């Protein structure tokens, strides 16, 4: 049961998210809820590029998982009336594969690379001239038989997404004309997203109930939609229908062991371990990961951002510490 709880509040995309995300994903900037300043800046960039008849500048989105980086890439392609090609940094293993992707792009097309910080250095070096001059040089053979083949690319827009912007090489980061950080959503915005998703899922939910779900969604739309589906299941089985009210939400969340702050058993376990075994900290993330039998990257990318945002955890030069707010919550 604990594993199920971790999956629900885990911001990493699951197969279920990929399937349902296609129907719940907004299609244009007008439908995108939250991140008002970000959306306004993107709208200006898109309209300016359209007026000039040019491809949009290369764009980088950074921020925790599940906040809409992939959705924004699809929206931008839709707004620019362009085709989008989606891949990820770990999926591009060989330079030859990447050259094939680049040469198949038409003018104005969008290439979206998720987790771009995990791209290999060899492939990354091919990306530099492609972004700057829309050209790539490919060396074939070795030694005295080596020769360079030049490929001219059609102007395209690269949109990169990363959860660890600090791991991006400076030469790559500097080649993005636009860089945006996506922050966690406010509960009111999440409630609006939940209301919008409920229509597509056929769920009858009122504003108060949507806000109850939003408060437990860790500021993340992906988790909000995931919790809405779990509440829908509970209402259907226990309530005999698809009508969701605040009492149903509270009962469903209690069964899933998710409190009003969006913390599940695993979050509380982390805070408890730091409090009890390490006297509240500081403790190094490697030692903490070993104690919890968890991957370091999972703690840094998935768990920590929300605990830091909510003020339950403090990151110092000597390690992680829990705050007085966390002690009270526990």
Question: Residue 234 in contact with residue 251, Cβ under 8 Å?
Answer: yes
**Domain range enclosing 295:** 265-329
pLDDT for the residue 100: 85
DSSP 174: T
Is 22 inside a domain boundary? no
Domain end (from 230, 255, 280): 255
**Reported confidence tier of residue 22, pLDDT bands at 50, 70, 90:** low
Asked if residue 296 and residue 241 are part of one domain, the reply reads: no
pLDDT for the residue 320: 87
Per-residue pLDDT, averaged over 278-290, amounts to 86
CATH number at residue 97: 3.40.50.300
Domain end (from 158, 181, 204): 181
Question: Residue 296 in contact with residue 286, Cβ under 8 Å?
Answer: yes
**47, burial (CB in 10 Å: exposed 0-12, middle 13-18, buried 19+):** exposed
CATH number at residue 246: 1.10.8.60
Phi and psi of 145, rounded to 5°?
-95, 0
C-alpha closest to that of 49 among 133, 156, 179, 176: 156
Q: Given strand 178-181, what is the order of strands in its sheet?
A: 84-88, 110-114, 157-162, 59-62, 178-181
Q: Is pLDDT of 170 > 70?
A: yes
Is 94 inside a domain boundary? yes
Q: What is the C-alpha to C-alpha distance for residues 310 and 30, in angstroms, rounded to an integer?
A: 29
Asked if residue 169 and residue 39 are part of one domain, the reply reads: yes
At 23-72, the pLDDT tens digits run 788 888 999 998 999 999 999 999 999 999 999 999 999 998 889 999 99
Asked if residue 171 and residue 67 are part of one domain, the reply reads: yes
Asked if residue 241 and residue 292 are part of one domain, the reply reads: no
Is 11 inside a domain boundary? no
Q: Is pLDDT of 182 > 90?
A: yes
Q: What is the C-alpha to C-alpha distance for residues 39 and 32, in angstroms, rounded to an integer?
A: 8
CATH number at residue 284: 1.10.10.10
Percent of the chain exceeding pLDDT 90 equals 38
Asked if residue 163 and residue 119 are part of one domain, the reply reads: yes
Asked if residue 215 and residue 169 are part of one domain, the reply reads: no
Is 293 inside a domain boundary? yes
Is 303 inside a domain boundary? yes
Question: Residue 276 in contact with residue 188, Cβ under 8 Å?
Answer: no
At 240-255, the pLDDT tens digits run 778 888 888 888 898 8
Degrees, nearest 5: CA angle 63-9-4: 145
Give the Å distances, CA to CA, from 104 to 153, 158, 298. Answer: 9, 14, 35
Domain end (from 255, 288, 310): 255
Report whether the peptide linkage leading into residue 251 is cis, meaning its omega lies within 30 degrees of zero.
Answer: no
Distance of alpha carbon 148 from its chain centroid, rounded? 38
Q: Is pLDDT of 7 > 60?
A: no
Asked if residue 94 and residue 224 are part of one domain, the reply reads: no
Active site residues per annotation: 69-70, 114, 163, 222
pLDDT for the residue 12: 55
Asked if residue 239 and residue 115 are part of one domain, the reply reads: no
Asked if residue 166 and residue 52 are part of one domain, the reply reads: yes
Is 165 inside a domain boundary? yes
pLDDT for the residue 20: 53
Asked if residue 165 and residue 95 are part of one domain, the reply reads: yes
Q: What is the C-alpha to C-alpha distance for residues 243 and 143, in angstroms, rounded to an integer?
A: 71
Asked if residue 278 and residue 146 are part of one domain, the reply reads: no
Asked if residue 197 and residue 150 are part of one domain, the reply reads: no
Is 28 inside a domain boundary? no
Look at residue 307 and give its three-state secondary structure: helix
How many domains is the chain built from? 3
Is 16 inside a domain boundary? no
């Amino acid at each position: 049961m604990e594993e199920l709880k971790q999956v629900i509040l885990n911001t990493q995309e699951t197969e279920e998210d990929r399937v349902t995300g296609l129907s719940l994903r907004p299609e244009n900037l007008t439908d995108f809820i939250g991140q008002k300043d970000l959306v306004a800046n993107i709208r200006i960039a898109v309209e300016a590029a359209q007026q000039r008849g040019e491809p949009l500048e290369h764009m980088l989105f950074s921020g925790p998982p599940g906040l809409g980086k992939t959705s924004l890439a699809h929206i931008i392609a839709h707004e620019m009336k362009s085709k989008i090609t989606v891949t990820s940094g770990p999926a591009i293993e060989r330079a030859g594969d990447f050259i094939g992707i680049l040469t198949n792009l038409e003018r104005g097309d969008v290439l979206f690379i998720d987790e771009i910080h995990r791209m290999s250095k060899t492939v990354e070096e091919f990306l530099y001239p492609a972004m700057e001059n829309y050209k790539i040089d490919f060396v074939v053979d070795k030694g005295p038989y080596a020769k360079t083949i030049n490929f001219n690319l059609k102007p395209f827009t690269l949109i990169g997404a990363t959860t660890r912007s600090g791991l991006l090489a400076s030469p790559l980061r500097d080649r993005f004309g636009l860089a945006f950080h996506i922050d966690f959503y406010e509960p009111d915005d999440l409630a609006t997203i939940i209301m919008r998703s409920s229509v597509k899922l056929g769920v009858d939910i009122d504003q108060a109930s949507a806000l109850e779900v939003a408060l437990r969604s860790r500021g993340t739309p992906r988790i909000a939609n995931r919790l809405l589906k779990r509440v829908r299941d509970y209402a259907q089985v226990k309530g005999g229908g698809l009508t969701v009210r605040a009492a149903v939400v509270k009962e469903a969340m209690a069964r899933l062991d998710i409190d009003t702050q969006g913390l599940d058993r695993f979050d509380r376990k982390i805070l408890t371990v730091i409090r009890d075994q390490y006297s509240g900290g500081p403790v190094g993330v490697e030692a903490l990961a070993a104690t919890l039998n968890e991957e370091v990257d999972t703690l840094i990318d998935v768990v920590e951002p929300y605990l830091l945002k909510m003020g339950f955890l403090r990151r110092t030069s000597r390690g992680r510490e829990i705050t007085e707010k966390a002690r009270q919550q526990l």
